[in-house]
Amino acid sequence: ITRIFSGIQPTGIPHLGNYLGTLSNWARLQDQLTRQTPSEDCATNAVQARDKVIYSIADLHAFTVPQPPKAVLKNTLDMTASIIACGVDPERCVLFRQSAVPLHTELAWMLNCITPVGWLHKMTQWKTKLQNKNPSDHGTASSGIDAASDPNSETSKLRLGLFAYPVLQAADILLYSASHVPVGEDQKQHIELTRDIADMANRHFKTKLFQLPDVLMTTNKRVMSLRDPTKKMSKSDKTANATILLTDSDDDIRSKIRKTVTDPIDTVTYDPENRPGVANLLRIYSAFYQRAENSSNAESSALNDVTQLFAGKKNQELKEKTTDIVIESTRKVRQELKRIIKEEDYLMGCLLRGEEEASMIAAKNWERVKKASGLS
Ligand code: AQP
């Protein structure tokens, strides 16, 4: 691993899924990759270590769904505070706002001009959006495309940005020559697309402009909504009690987990298909259990241990024990977030410093693109 790059959209306060699936991994990776961070007074080495780990607040991606202008900056600062509270240290990595480095959109444009539209039509997330907009369609991509070409269909009202955002994501990654991109299962296809686009660009410009990044798969499974366990927990889900936020108090967490939708069977078994609510609680418990035990065992083994632990116990007990482990395991992060979220000047300072460093790295790579394309 020579450099990792990852991003998160500032679309609200992060929830337990964002924490387990992404932010805690960001902190862990930063710790692993900058373990030999030299002493503070050795400035050159410190910069070398910092730019191994680049994290972006993907505010431009957030616009793929409408954002109230008044909320944009506040959401960005809240996300910055959340990332730092989860253990990401802006002294040891580059943390910045995507929109502050306009080269992301410039490179995205160049990549748009060489990316075949058919590649984007294959993206599962896009196909899901098409199907949701077009219930009469039976879920094949081609019927979605047909519907999209009818200017009056519901699908043709979907926005271009939503269709093209995987290209912007490719630009985000390629601009920094990231060797690895830590993502969850849902984003794996987009990183594969990034590799294909990089390869296409290298052939198009007849020079090795871009490094093909590898996926660094994060291990934690999806955390599902507490109110509808067939849907993932989402920042934008406004259903009451569906998400546990990093700003929740102990009482909020207690009350939300108590109200979790389970099923009429009274004892605990792990059956994600038929008992998604109970399975979700077992997975949340096991994710924290694995951390508390400091176990390097695979996730599946922690889940087995936890399923054994609760075998024959009442759902009620699972809810209570999950409440305790969530409250205890997130206490430090929640306390730190509460403190830091008010420090707007400090947060802005961290972002400005990150922006400066990100711009320098991006400019070097963009210069090579300009040369290869003839723009220079
Ligand atoms: N429920 C989840 N369980 C595990 N991981 C999750 N992630 C999101 N939801 C869950 C991971 O968190 C990162 C956040 O990425 P994002 O904010 O760029 O986009 P997202 O996946 O769309 O996140 P949300 O929370 O669902 O936000 P909204 O509501 O704005 O769309 C990703 O790495 C994702 O895998």
pLDDT of residue 217: 86
Best mutation site among 9, 125, 220 for ligand 1 pocket (most ligand atoms within 8 Å of CB)? 9
Portions of the chain given CATH number 1.10.240.10: 250-340
**Distance, CA 311 to ligand 1 centroid (Å)?**
31
Assess if CATH 2.40.128.20 describes domain 4-129+166-217+343-373: no
Q: Which pTM value belongs to this model?
A: 0.91
Whose tokens are 């805690």? That residue is: 24
Per-residue pLDDT at 222: 86
**What is the CATH architecture of 250-340?**
Orthogonal Bundle (1.10)
pLDDT of the residue at 140: 45
Task: List, by residue number, the catalytic residues.
Answer: 129, 232, 235
pLDDT of residue 142: 47
* Edge-first strand listing for the sheet containing 94-97: 94-97, 53-57, 4-8, 180-183, 214-217
Contact assessment for residue 175 and residue 366, using Cβ atoms and an 8 Å cutoff: yes
Q: What is the pLDDT of residue 157?
A: 83
Residue 69's Cβ-count burial label (10 Å; 0-12, 13-18, 19+) is exposed
Compute the distance between CA of residue 177 and CA of residue 2 in angstroms, rounded to an integer. Answer: 9
Buried b (16+ CB within 10 A) or exposed e, 235-272: bebeeebbbbbbbbeeeebbebbeebbbeeeeebebee
Residue nearest to atom 27 of ligand 1 (CA): 235
Q: Which stretches of the chain score pLDDT less than 50?
A: 41, 135-143
Distance CA(124)–CA(128), nearest Å, equals 6
Which pLDDT score is estimated for 36? 56
Of 355, 372, 354, nearest to 102 by C-alpha is 355
User: Is 369:198 a contact under the CB 8 Å cutoff?
Assistant: no
> Is the distance from the beta carbon of residue 186 to the nearest atom of ligand 1 less than 6 Å?
yes
Residue 320 burial by Cβ neighbours in a 10 Å radius (0-12, 13-18, 19+):
middle
* Amino acid present at 76: T
Where do the CATH 3.40.50.620 domains begin and end in the chain? Answer: 4-129+166-217+343-373
